[in-house]
Every structure is written in C-alpha cells, then in structure tokens.
Amino acid sequence: MLDQQRIDTLRSEPVAARKLFIDGQWQSGSGGVLEVLSPIDGSVLTTIERASADDMTRAIASARTAFDDGRWSRLAPAGRKKVLHRLADLIEREALALSVLGVRDNGTEINMAFKAESGSAAGTFRYYAEAIDKVYGEIAPTDENILALVHKEPVGVVGAIVPWNFPLMIGAWKIAPALAAGNSIVLKPAETASLSLLRLAELASEAGLPDGVFNVVTGKGSVVGEALALSMDVDVLAFTGSGATGRRLLEYAARSNLKRCYLELGGKSPNIVFADAPDLDRAAGVSASGIFRNSGQVCVAGSRLLVQREIHDDFVAALAKRAEAFRVGDPLDLGSDIGAVNSLAQLEGDLAFVATAEKEGAERVTGGNRILEDTGGYYMQPTVLTGVGPRDTVAQEEVFGPVLAVIPFDSEDEAIAIANDSNFGLAGAVWTSDLSRAHRMVRRVKTGVIHVNTYGGADATVPLGGVKQSGNGHDKSLHALDKYFDLKTAWIQL
C-alpha cells in the first residue's frame, strides 16, 4: 500500500539538474538547458540539457562502437538475461521514488503511475529477460543435401523516441526487447517527461549494462529527434507519439539510410455499448475510467463512446455521474483520482477542442473547464459531450485529454460503420451479452486491440499496435522482438 508520508518526503527532495547520459557517463550538451516545469503547480522543477545535433551524433557513435565491438551484442542470451533481471530488481527497489519523480515531471496520478510506470517497467524487463534465451532460429525443411539455417541477429543501433504520458512504461516497451535482442540504444525522451528515463539509464549502468549500450539524449525533437532519425548509423527507429511527427520520421528515414520505422501514433478509439451489455452500471464506470484516467492522456483511451439509442440518455447520465465523482487534484495526493494535464499548451489544446465541439453543435453534459488555476498547475474537469456527429472534429481528431464524445447508434451495422469511420485504428471495445455479436464485432471493428466487456488492462503477453494511421509494428509480447532482429539465411551445401 502506498504511504502518503513517504510520498510527501520524496516530493520535497530537490531534483538536481540533469545531464546527457552518453557512453555510461553524465555529459554536458552544447545547446544550453531547458527548464522543467512541473504540471502540479507550474513551478520550475529542475533543468535538463537542450542537446544539439552534434550531441546526438556523439551518442549514436557511442552506441555504434558498443554494438560493433560486441560487448553486449555478442554476449550470450543468458548473460543479457542476468543484467536485465538485475535492472528489474533495481526498478522495483526504487519503484516509489521513480514514480514520484515521474509524477512531478508529467502529472499522472500517483496511484496509476506506481502501477503503470515503475511496476509495468519492471515487469517488462523481466518478461524479455526470461524470453530471450528461449528464442531460437530455424532449420528449413529443404533438400537433403542442403542445411538451410535461419539466424536471428540484432539489428544494430536502435533509436527510440517516447512520449510524455507514460515515459517509463512506453520506454520499457521499446528498450527491454531491443536490449534483450542484443542491440544498442539511443533514447530521446519527451522534453516534458525526461527525468525518470534519465534515472533508468543510471540504474541500467548499475545493473551491469556495458557503457555505450544505452544512451539518453534530451532536448528538442526538432533538433535531436531529427538528428536521430536522419542518422546513417541508426538501423531501426521506434516511436510513440503524434501522426504529424511520425510522418516526418518516415521522411527522414527515406532521406537517410532507409532505416525501418515502427510507429505507434495514437487513436480515436470507439467504445461501443449495446443495450444488452451484461452490466450497464459497470460499463459506465469502466468507460469513465477508460477515458478520464491520466486526464485522458492515454493512447488507447476510449474517447468515442457509441451508445445504442434506446439506452443513450440513461447511460450518459450514469457515466456523467461517475465523471463528476472523480476527484481532480494534486497527482501526488493519494485521494486524487485524476491528476494534472501535462503542460499548459496541452491544456489549452484540450479546451479548444471543447469550444470547437460546441460550435459544431455538441452539448456539454458535464465538465469542460480549467480548474484549480490558483495552484499554478494544469487541471481540467472530465468532460462529456453529447450531440456529436460521427464526422465532427471531436469525433475524428485525437484530443489526448479528458474529453469524451458520445454518439448514438441504432443497429450493429451502424455501430460498425461509425466505429470504422476514422483514420485511426488503435483500440476499441464492445459491451454485449450476445457472444455471436461479440465475435462479429471483434472481426469487423478495424483496430489493433479490441476489448469485450472491459476496457484496458492488457498485459505484456499480448501485442499492442494499430492499423490505418495508428501506425505499424507492435510493442509488448514476443512479437515486439521482431522489430529488433534481422533474419539471416545460411544456405549450406553438404
């Protein structure tokens, strides 16, 4: 059980200015520093390096040298396994401190951060530590005078760019399988959520990861992110973030060495509630959590609620009641259900979406305002909008905030048509007691993840990835390893 007194002690600790982590050492950058503003109260928490393109080139060179000399890439899988297990141990040892540091940086409520950040990261490193010495090559069934082998080899240098909403969790989804496969990594965190990942690099070194294998470079995406993506010495780029940035990364890959790009670009996930849902009250509660947790800053958030017309009004009323019951406040207070929006710019964007929705004819059932402004922090009421058309802005564009668009439907076919009328295809859900309908919806709703009579909670054993403009490739599960291996055929005449 989390202890408020311990949390308060950790939150009071000063955060030292952080450097770049390159070649196993803390190093200064050449571009000055960036202030880190805490979304809790708007105060300056510390500074991080505003790295230059030259700093990024230096980090990539370190990763390339470490890969080429085999200090990690040629270590036996059992040896890599031991180091990754030690890293998981260290994450668990510092789980609360890591979580508090992350909350001070990005505003996620501590109850969620403890599970989804440090807890998930430790579990992810353990998962791939256990998996890697059980992943084999192949012997092909060909001519009896030929021995045909398929080897799995690490790709080389992996560039990873991760967002601010769950930096430690999403970072681990990319770092752990890439390291397990034997690659070196250069990580570029979000400017507004770098601190826990810088600490992770330090812990990785303590766990025994060789110098140069894991490097962290902070700074502006337009500078160091671009340098990472344009590098001729980066073999794979793994990214989670916006579609606009994902498109630029693909362009940079084409302009450089045609590096493989794996992109998770968010969603506008449909949460479809039929009148025959097994427990409508539970569906309302889970649906509210599925959009409002972490102030809606979740890539798989159920931001489009499709409700069968015959239950629409009652269901919306029940869900709005749940939304109004959430306590929005200081994310390091265990009594808060929802924490802060990550930045002032993000908050202003969220509010602008509400204003646009109302101009287009939507009605505000509850929420939609900035609150607790006197704290200096960035807080917003959970917002429920009805009267939203399937093609309205708030139904088509990812808000990435605590804003729910409710759309009524009559038939199963209509629900599917509305659900699939989106450029995105990351996640979704269906609530029904009809087993046949559930299976039909699973097949027909075009998403990478579909929940039935629940929302969220999928663990490391299953892949997360999208279709359409939600991206390509997969995080989590054994399938994530595919991104970080090359296949080499050995055709041997006997």
- Give the residue numbers marked as catalytic: 264
* 304 contacts 273 by C-beta, under 8 angstroms: no
- Whether residue 37 contacts residue 45, with contact meaning beta carbons closer than 8 Å, is answered with yes
Query: How many other C-beta atoms can be found within 10 angstroms of the C-beta atom of residue 134?
Result: 9
Alpha helices in 114-235 (DSSP H): 120-132, 167-180, 195-207, 226-230
Tell me how far apart the alpha carbons of residues 142 and 490 are, in angstroms, rounded to a whole number.
12
DSSP state of 302: -
Q: Within 181-334, where are the H helices?
A: 195-207, 226-230, 243-255, 280-292, 312-325
Listed in sequence order, the residues at least 6 apart from 62 whose beta carbon sits closer than 8 Å to its beta carbon are 22, 23, 211, 212, 215
392-414 in b/e form (b: 16+ CB < 10 A) is: bbbbbbbbbbbbbbbbbbeebeb
Other CB atoms within a 10 A radius of the CB of residue 389 amount to: 16
- Residue 225's nearest CA partner among 201, 252, 202, 244 is 252
Structure tokens at 92: 């668990």
Q: Write the CA distances from 365 to 216, 285, 328, integer angstroms.
A: 44, 16, 17
Task: State the Cα–Cα distance between residues 150 and 323, nearest whole angstrom.
Answer: 53
Q: Helix, strand, coil proportions of the chain in percent (round to 5)?
A: 45, 20, 35
| CA separation for the pair 476, 128 (Å, rounded) | 9
Kindly report the backbone phi and psi dihedral angles of residue 290, in degrees, each rounded to the nearest multiple of 5, phi listed first.
-70, -15
Residues 433-459 as b or e (16 or more Cβ within 10 Å = b): eeeebbeebeebbbbbbbbebebbeee
Query: Phi and psi of 260, rounded to 5°?
Result: -70, 135
| Amino acid, single-letter form, for residue 50 | R
Q: What are the Cα distances from residue 408, in Å, to 190, 301, 380, 386, 387?
A: 37, 19, 25, 9, 8
DSSP 8-class letter at 466: -
Going by C-alpha positions, the residue among 225, 224, 216 that lies closest to residue 195 is: 216
**Residue 407 φ/ψ, nearest 5 degrees:** -130, 125
Q: Measure the CA–CA gap between 351 and 344, rounded to whole angstroms.
A: 11
